[in-house]
Amino acid sequence: MRFAVDAHAIGRHLTGNEVYVRSLLDAFAAHRRECEFVAYVSAPEAPASIPAPILTRRISPNPFLRLGLQLALRVNRDRPDLLHVQYTAPVGCNVPVVVSVHDVSFLEHPEYFKRDRAWQLQWTVRRTVQRAARVLTGSEFSRASILKVYGDLDEHKVVVVPNAAASQFRPISRETAAATVRERFDIRTPFLLSVGDLQPRKNQIGLIRAFARLVRAYPQLKHNLVLAGKGTWFADRVREAAGESGVVERIQFIGFVSDPDLLNLYNACDLFVFPSFYEGFGLPALEAMACGRAVVCSNTSALPEVVDGAAILFDPYATDQIVRALADLLLDSELRARMERLGLQRAAHFSWQKTAQRTLEVFYDVAERDTARRPRVRSRTTVHR
C-alpha cells in the first residue's frame, strides 16, 4: 500500500506540528518494506531531514494554493491509498483522509488566537473532521474535547494515539550542556527553562509574574528564567510583562531553537516549567522528562494525563501556586532528584515507534475498508525524490 502524508510543516519552524510529522516519518521509515510513503513538503531543505526510503514531492508553502488546488492534484496523480494531514485536508481530495487534530483550543478558547485565524480553523477543521475516515489525537482529554465540540461525530471515529519524545532527547553531561548553552546563547547557570511559542495560552506572562515573586521571596535563589520559543503577534505583550517585572535582567528570551539546542537546554536547566493554560498533549514536558529534568506544570487540560504523577502540578491561574511549586523543587534537592527519576520512568512509556505502529494500524484499517467498499485497480505512478 501507499500512504501519503502532508508534511509541509517540516523546515518551516511550525513547532509542535513540525515535530509531530517529522518524528512520525522517521518512525515510518522502519516500515518501508510493508508499505510505501510519499511526503509532500514545502521547504527546500525539508527532503534532507526525511529518511531516504520515504519519497518526497514539493508543494507550495502558500496554504491557499496548497489546500485549494495543488495538494489534491498531487494526490490524484500519485494515487495513494489515503492521505494523512494535520487539522486541514485539501479541497477535492479523492482518497480517504486521516486527520490528526492535536487540540481544539480554537473552538474552546478562541481568545488565544487572532480572530481571523480562529475563524479559519473553526471552518476548515470542521469540514475536515466531518469528511475524514478517522481522527487521530494524542490524549483522552483531546478525544473528549473533539467529541464535545463536534457533537454529531461518531465516537469510534476518534482514536487516541499518544505522542512521544524523540529518541535524541536523553540525559547527557550537565557540564557539557551548560558550557554549550553558555557559548550559544550566553546563558549562565543556574536557570529555569520554559519552552513554547510566545502566545496567550502558553501563559508566559503568568510565569514571569510568578518568577518575579519567587526572586523577591527567596533571595538566596540565584536562578535566571530562560524562555525558548518563536515570537508571535502576542510576543510584545510577553516582553512588556518582563520589562515591568522588576527582574528583567534575569529573564532571557532566546527565540526559536533547534532540537540539538533544546537537548542542551533541557539538560543544563535546574528544572523545566510548563505553565500552559491549555494543551492537547504537552510534548515539551515529556521531552524535559526524557532528559532527566524535574518538571513543574499546569494541572489543566491533557498535562496531568501525560505526566501522570511524575511532575509537580499547579493551577496556572494562581500565581502563588506556581511560586510554591518552583520553590519546593529548587529548595529541596531530594524532591528534585525524585521527580527526575519519576520523569525518566514516565517518558520511557512513550515512543515514536509505538506511535507509528498504532498510526499504521489505523491507516491499514481505513485503506482496507475503502478497498472493500469501492474496489478499484490503481496504476502506480513512480514518485521521484
* Cβ-contact 281, 335 below 8 angstroms: no
Domain spans of the chain, in order of start: 2-164+351-373, 174-347
Residues 6+ apart with CB under 8 A from 351: 164, 167
Cα 177 from Cα 185, distance rounded (Å): 12
Per-chain mean pLDDT for the chain: 94
Q: 383 pLDDT exceeds 50?
A: no
Task: Please give the C-alpha separations between residue 347 and each of 89, 140, 163, 275, in angstroms, as whole numbers.
Answer: 31, 17, 11, 19
pLDDT at 14: 67
- What pLDDT digit, counting tens, does each position of 232-282 carry? 999 999 999 999 999 999 999 999 999 999 999 999 999 999 999 999 999
Q: Extract the runs of DSSP E, i.e. beta strands, from the chain.
A: 2-6, 36-41, 55-58, 82-86, 97-100, 134-137, 158-160, 191-195, 224-228, 251-255, 271-274, 295-298, 312-314
- Which grid coordinates belong to 142? 483531546
Share of the chain above pLDDT 90, in %: 88
Own/partner long-range contacts of 211-217 (Cβ < 8 Å, ≥24 apart): 211/245, 211/247, 211/250, 211/251, 211/326, 212/245, 212/246, 212/247, 213/319, 213/320, 213/323, 214/323, 214/326, 214/327, 215/247, 215/250, 216/246, 217/323, 217/327
* pTM score of the predicted model: 0.93
Average pLDDT over residues 299-315: 98
pLDDT at 363: 97
* Cβ-contact 159, 134 below 8 angstroms: yes
Q: 219 pLDDT exceeds 70?
A: yes
- Which grid coordinates belong to 143? 478525544
Three-class DSSP category at 69: helix
Q: Is 339 exposed, middle or buried (0-12, 13-18, 19+ CB in 10 A)?
A: buried
Q: 53 pLDDT exceeds 90?
A: no
Average pLDDT over residues 49-73: 91
Decide which of 33 and 111 is more confident: 111
Options 3.40.50.850, 3.40.50.2000, 1.20.140.10, 3.40.50.800; CATH of 2-164+351-373: 3.40.50.2000
Average pLDDT over residues 330-356: 97
Measured in whole angstroms, the distance separating CA 99 from the mean position of its chain's CA atoms is 15
Average pLDDT over residues 120-143: 97
pLDDT at 74: 94
pLDDT at 267: 98
Residue at 263: amino acid letter: L
Q: Model confidence at 379, in pLDDT bands (50, 70, 90)?
A: very low
Does domain 174-347 fall under CATH 3.40.50.2000? My reply is yes
Q: 378 pLDDT exceeds 60?
A: no
pLDDT at 33: 67
Residues 6+ apart with CB under 8 A from 341: none
CA-derived radius of gyration, the chain: 21
CB atoms within 10 A of CB 261: 16
Asked whether the domain spanning 174-347 has the same topology as the one spanning 2-164+351-373, the reply is yes
Cα 84 from Cα 20, distance rounded (Å): 12
- Packing angle, helices 283-290 and 333-347, rounded to 10: 110
Average pLDDT over residues 42-51: 90
Beta bridge partners of 179: none
pLDDT at 381: 45
pLDDT at 31: 75
Lowest-confidence region among 6-15, 192-201, 238-247 = 6-15
Q: Which helix (H) or strand (E) holds 35?
A: none
pLDDT at 32: 66
Q: 377 pLDDT exceeds 60?
A: no
